[in-house]
Structure 1
Amino acid sequence: MNPLHHTPIGDRQRLLEAVVAIVRRAGEAVMAVYRTDFDVHGKSDDSPVTEADRRAEAIITAALQQLTPDVPVIAEEAVSAGQQPGVAPGQRFWLVDPVDGTREFVGRNGEFTVNVALIDKAQPVLGVVQAPALGLLYAGGPGMGGWCEADGPASAKNHHPPVRHPLSCRRPPAPGLTVLASRSHGDAARLKSFLDGLGTLVAHTHVAGSSLKFCQIAAGQADVYPRLGRTMEWDTAAGQAVLMGAGGSVLTLDGEALRYGKPDWENPDFVAWGLRG
């Protein structure tokens, strides 16, 4: 019997804790590479990949297969290598991005993340996002709430348990929206056109790398993240789960929920929102 079938919220919380531990192990492997003079290779789509991607994905995939043997694991590097398990419509499966923001990893600015999400009926139901170089870990899911641990690595070294802070999206402040944009990807003209069409004041626009943008909205640090360009499902699933746990949403430009399990794993343009209105 699949251990995830008909899992109540309480069991999902325990499952989330197991995934947090797995992501922490992967983050340690990523940081071990980050501290070296690592090589950078190009994939078929011209995106970069390093040994950190491969090590973290191997750790996560093996641990998830042991945790939930009957649930397929869809991981970025395996898919890039043509190793793709079948996923039926509505089936539960894991989505793994071992290093989201590899350009940030290569640039050594710290804005890269390790991401794991569980998908059920085409929606993320729990997710973990860790920024190991920044000492940040975010976790949560719809109906579960969300939380962040700050300075986790330092706390661990001091033998103190890391403190968890609840996540909550904010309502847009009176001066206007804080908008997030991708540091390494994006179309400035399309973003401007989208923002002009909102009919809402924009107070600030900030750039950030990787899935951290979802987490910043979940933490009430920003209000909206329009992504008007190519992303893959493993880029967004864990961050979307965290954001939904904090009361936010991720919608296509048609106002529909961003869905998962598409044949090519590619997302349409979307907008991540905090609380609206």
Structure 2
Amino acid sequence: MAPMGIRLSPLGVAVFCLLGVGVIYHLYAGVFSSHLAALRQRRRVDLRDLLAVSVEAAVLGGKEVKQVRKENSLKEKSKGKTREGASELLTMGDLQSHRKMFNLLKNTFPDITINSEEHDNKLDAVAWSRDIPADILEKIGRGKEVPAESITVWIDPLDATQEYTENLVKYVTTMVCVAVDGKPIIGVIHQPFTGFTAWAFVGQGSNVRPRSSYSVSPPKVVVSRSHSGKVKNFILDAFGNGTTVIEAGGAGYKVLSLLEIPSSDGSTMDQADVYVHITFIKKWDICAGAAVLNALGGNMTTLKGEDIDYSGTPLNNKGLVASVGVNHKALLEKLPNWDPEKH
């Protein structure tokens, strides 16, 4: 009996071939997909480049802020009320600064998370100049790379908007902060109306430094102009009736008041020993200052001494104490019990 053979019709051959191609396609598609996912996970950002772009963004935003103020084209409107009942203002300076700062950072580093105080969908093709300032090149080497997904950038396109509308421009700053895994690593605070830019990279270097001496018996404490009544009583209870309370606008300015800041235009900065805030505050207001202070050996914590996580929700609802060059723990121990949630 002759051996039996398998004979396929032309249609069967075609179906068999198509099935084979399909199997091969799915196998390779799976491999390609896994490689692509791995590539995305491996995308890394050099933090020196991100520092340089952050400085450029803050300066670029500051030019918008300054130009709008010069033209007196603020077109201010209220975004609502703060917890203390003060009006939260929005101006064209805020918006135009946001557009430049947000788009410059996003165009350069599309894979990182960026949170800004303002929200606007207008795109801008602004691109990084690829310039790295000389003082950054001098102090920071390359190779400080981290995964893109670990980065959260916080932008404040115009800090001290209320003071900006009142033409109290010395308080105004533009700020960028880079947090890695929730920890503030890079801080940039730019003063548009003096042209000075403070930057710091934790563990690497900074272009600012603490003052040579501070007083804590009693200290000079800088607080917000917008709710000075309650915080004054809190400060006097903590440090005594001889304490000097300085009212100022803008969280960025208050952090700079703790440092030795050069005066390039003849203006004078307030000089404080401690910065205290006893109500809610947003992370784009404070992240850059936290990074700068941390880089200089200082601290910015909640009123209870806890580190603030700069990822997730933008709200810090536990108040803050900021200092450098003093015993931060000893300051915290003097504070009266206070729950921002209940005030």
Instruction: Work out which of the residue numbers 68, 71, 79 in structure 2 matches 1:43.
Output: 79
TM-aligned CA distance change 1:264 to 1:142, over 3 Å: closer
Contact kept? 1:212, 1:239, Cα under 8 Å: no
Contact kept? 1:187, 1:229, Cα under 8 Å: no
Over residues 102-157 of structure 1, what are the superposed CA-to-partner deviations in whole Å (9 max), with x where a residue is unaligned? 0011011111111111111212110111111133211113213322xxxxxxxxxx
Give secondary structure in 2 for the equivalent of 1:35: helix
Instruction: Work out which of the residue numbers 139, 143, 148 in structure 1 matches 2:199.
Output: 139
Instruction: Work out which of the residue numbers 123, 126, 130 in structure 1 matches 2:183.
Output: 123
Structure 1 segments of 4 or more deviating over 6 A? none
1:203 positional shift: 4.9
* In 2, Cα distance between equivalents of 1:170 and 1:247: 14
Tell me the TM-score normalised to structure 2 length. 0.64
Instruction: Work out which of the residue numbers 308, 322, 335 in structure 2 matches 1:272.
Output: 322
Residue 241 of structure 1: aligned partner:
291
Residue 64 of structure 1: aligned partner:
105
One-letter amino acid of the structure 2 residue matched with residue 31 of structure 1: K
* In 1, Cα distance between equivalents of 2:113 and 2:294: 23
Give secondary structure in 1 for the equivalent of 2:44: coil
Contact kept? 1:94, 1:118, Cα under 8 Å: yes
* In 1, Cα distance between equivalents of 2:211 and 2:279: 24
- Percent of pairs with identical residues: 25
Instruction: Work out which of the residue numbers 1, 9, 20 in structure 1 matches 2:55.
Output: 20
Q: Determine which structure has the larger helix proportion and give its number.
A: 2
1:202 positional shift: 5.2
Contact kept? 1:178, 1:202, Cα under 8 Å: no
One-letter amino acid of the structure 2 residue matched with residue 130 of structure 1: H
Root-mean-square deviation (CA, aligned residues, Å) is 2.3
1:264 positional shift: 5.0
Contact kept? 2:284, 2:314, Cα under 8 Å: no
Aligned pair count reads: 241
More divergent stretch after superposition (113-122 vs 130-139): 130-139
Instruction: Work out which of the residue numbers 146, 168, 173 in structure 2 matches 1:109.
Output: 168
Instruction: Say whether 1:172 aligns with 2:214.
Output: yes
* In 2, Cα distance between equivalents of 1:120 and 1:170: 30
Residue 77 of structure 1: aligned partner:
118
Instruction: Say whether 1:92 aligns with 2:151.
Output: yes
Residue 265 of structure 2: aligned partner:
none
Residue 152 of structure 1: aligned partner:
none
1:198 positional shift: 4.2
Q: Which has the larger radius of gyration?
A: 2
Q: Determine which structure has the larger strand proportion and give its number.
A: 1
TM-aligned CA distance change 1:197 to 1:57, over 3 Å: same
Give secondary structure in 1 for the equivalent of 2:165: helix
1:192 positional shift: 2.4
* In 1, Cα distance between equivalents of 2:168 and 2:231: 26
Give secondary structure in 2 for the equivalent of 1:43: strand
Contact kept? 2:176, 2:288, Cα under 8 Å: yes
**1:173-212 to 2 correspondences below 5 Å:** 173=215, 176-183=218-225, 185-198=226-239, 203-210=243-250, 211-212=252-253
Give secondary structure in 2 for the equivalent of 1:117: strand
* In 1, Cα distance between equivalents of 2:51 and 2:242: 35
TM-aligned CA distance change 1:202 to 1:260, over 3 Å: farther
Give secondary structure in 1 for the equivalent of 2:300: strand
Structure 2 gaps, min length 5: 1-41, 82-86, 121-148, 262-270, 328-343
